[in-house]
Amino acid sequence: MAHNTSLEYDSVIQYCSNLFLKKTKDYGTAWRILRVSSLTDQIFIKAQRIRTLEEKKVSKVGESIHSEYVGIINYCVIAMMQLELSDDASMELEVTEVQEKYSRLVNETKNLMFAKNHDYGEAWRDMRISSLTDLILMKILRVKQIEDNEGQTLASEGVKANYQDMLNYAVFALIRMGTESSSDE
């Protein structure tokens, strides 16, 4: 079966972006109050919940693994926005500005994904979804360490690159989940 990674990626991002912009219209940019380290913790909570659901196969809250991956994608975008915005920038951003920032950051992240896919040959298509979850958790732990080191690294990529990788892993998981559910029908 032939895959069109670009179209699949765009489909996932369109769903996530639409939800994010609807919530922005409902709530404004209340997320501006969150420090980047708090966003890292939010992503950790979502990834840890996915791992628990993967292992226990039962949800008592009713939210799906799918919705948690969507949350990871959107929190990664928020974190990248927060990295760019200064603390003294306005707390409330216009929806059009948020939409522009969201699109630009996702496009940068998608371009990174294609560069890495060129080198890795879309190996993620043969990975277990649980491995993608574990990679997200590992990246979160790396980001926490970088944050604890006040952003200083000796030989590592920065925080933004780790958020981009987590976003891409979550997109891969959603693509794979869509592929698996459509092949099960």
**The pLDDT value given to residue 3:** 80
Mean pLDDT of the chain: 90
Is this model's pTM higher than 0.85 or not?
yes
* Residue ranges per structural domain of the chain: 5-184
State yes or no: pLDDT of 185 exceeds 70: no
pLDDT at residue 182 tops 60: no
Rounded mean pLDDT, 147-159: 83
Nearest CA among 9, 11, 20, 8 for reference residue 109? 9
Give yes or no for residue 153 having a pLDDT over 80: no
Mean pLDDT, residues 84-111 taken together: 92
State percent of the chain over pLDDT 90: 71
